[in-house]
């Protein structure tokens, strides 16, 4: 572990952070934070008995997040709890003026997402949302190079696996935020129409399993075809962008995570920063706090992602194949 001071005060120049939730994804935060310069993990909120071995000896451990908020001054908190808890925790932190990095999805309700946006604006408070792939160097490079492809763009995205089957959220809200956030961020606009269908319906024994096809249409003629879910035969994590001049393929499972392809199909792997997306997300949070920022583009994007997923979820409740497009 890094040399965290025994008095739990961040060293000069360090950002003092807390972590709420040390579950499946929270453990990655716990293992990543000590390796990031300028960050001091002073407390965690967890009922995971293995937590003590993941953090420095002087890092405080709480079982209730409410107790942690009253424990000491913090520069920021990372919220890695089930999505249904995000609003209550974030709203309490807003009242106390604590900057937040919240795991995707921001909330499971557009009403709650917009209310958090109102509270943060009223308090001048920094909130970031960790749509992890948006912080990856592969996606960042793809975004820089995308204008060279020419418009309109065609996006073909797949984010799927056989599982996991989570009790707290279904597959649309678990997998969907990744590709939807990349589409909205890359194109810089909201879709004008949405079409969605269930490719594989939830089994009777597992209502949290599904495979969904989503089609987004944009005003400039660009389109996105997205397949997400946890009933696939194998794991896939691919985001391909095609234009009149070629294509860019971000494949998170490939050795060459970003490849440029010309119109003749010639592939050129692109050189990337090898830092993990989670590391880059935490560094962005650290820097935003240190620089006194009160706004971050990931937050407004997070609200838009929730609104769009809510519309898709509503459409999927209608039986049948591809439904008439929802015009926005």
Query: pLDDT tens for residues 132-150?
Result: 999 999 999 999 999 999 9
Residue 4 has what pLDDT? Answer: 30
Q: Distance of CA 50 to CAs 61, 164, 289, Å?
A: 11, 22, 29
pTM above 0.85, yes or no: yes
| Residue found under tokens 């592939």 | 267
237 token code pair: 């994590």
pLDDT for the residue 119: 98
pLDDT at res. 73: 75
Cβ–Cβ under 8 Å, residues 127 and 173: no
The domains located in the chain, with CATH, are 15-132+279-295 (3.40.50.720), 134-274+308-327 (3.30.360.10)
Return d(Cα 210, Cα 202) in angstroms, integer. Answer: 5
Give residue 287's pLDDT. Answer: 98
d(CA 181, CA 183): 5
Task: Please say whether the beta carbons of 196 and 210 come within 8 A.
Answer: no
Q: What is the mean pLDDT of each run of 10 residues along the chain (328 residues)?
A: 35 84 94 96 94 94 93 89 98 96 98 98 97 98 98 97 91 97 98 94 70 97 97 96 98 98 97 97 98 97 98 82 52
């Amino acid at each position: 572990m890094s040399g965290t001071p025994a008095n739990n005060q961040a060293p000069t120049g360090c950002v003092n952070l807390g972590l709420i939730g040390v579950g499946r994804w929270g453990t990655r935060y716990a293992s990543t934070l000590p390796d990031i310069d300028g960050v001091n993990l002073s407390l965690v909120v967890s009922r995971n008995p293995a937590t003590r071995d993941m953090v420095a000896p002087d890092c405080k451990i709480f079982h209730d997040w409410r107790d942690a908020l009253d424990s000491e001054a913090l520069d920021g908190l990372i919220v890695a709890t089930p999505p249904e808890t995000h609003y209550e925790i974030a709203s309490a932190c807003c009242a106390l003026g604590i900057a937040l990095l919240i795991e995707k999805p921001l909330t499971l309700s557009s009403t709650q997402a917009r209310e958090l946006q109102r509270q943060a604006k009223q308090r001048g408070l920094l909130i970031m949302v960790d749509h992890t792939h948006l912080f990856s160097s592969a996606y960042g490079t793809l975004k820089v190079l995308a204008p060279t492809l020419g418009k309109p763009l065609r996006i073909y995205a797949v984010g799927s696996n056989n599982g996991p089957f989570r009790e707290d959220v279904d597959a649309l809200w678990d997998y969907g935020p990744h590709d939807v956030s990349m589409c909205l961020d890359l194109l810089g606009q909201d879709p004008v129409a949405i079409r969605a269908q269930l490719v594989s319906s939830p089994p009777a024994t597992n209502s949290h399993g599904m495979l969904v096809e989503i089609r987004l249409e944009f005003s400039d003629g660009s389109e996105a075809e997205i397949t997400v879910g946890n009933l696939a035969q194998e794991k896939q994590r691919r985001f391909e962008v095609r234009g009149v001049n070629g294509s860019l393929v971000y494949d998170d499972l490939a050795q060459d995570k970003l490849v440029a392809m010309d119109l003749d199909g010639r592939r050129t792997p692109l050189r990337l920063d090898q830092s993990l997306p989670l590391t880059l997300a935490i560094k962005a949070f650290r820097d935003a706090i240190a620089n006194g920022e009160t706004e971050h583009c990931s937050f407004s994007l997070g609200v838009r992602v929730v609104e769009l997923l809510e519309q898709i979820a509503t459409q999927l409740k209608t039986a049948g194949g591809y439904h008439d497009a929802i015009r926005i």
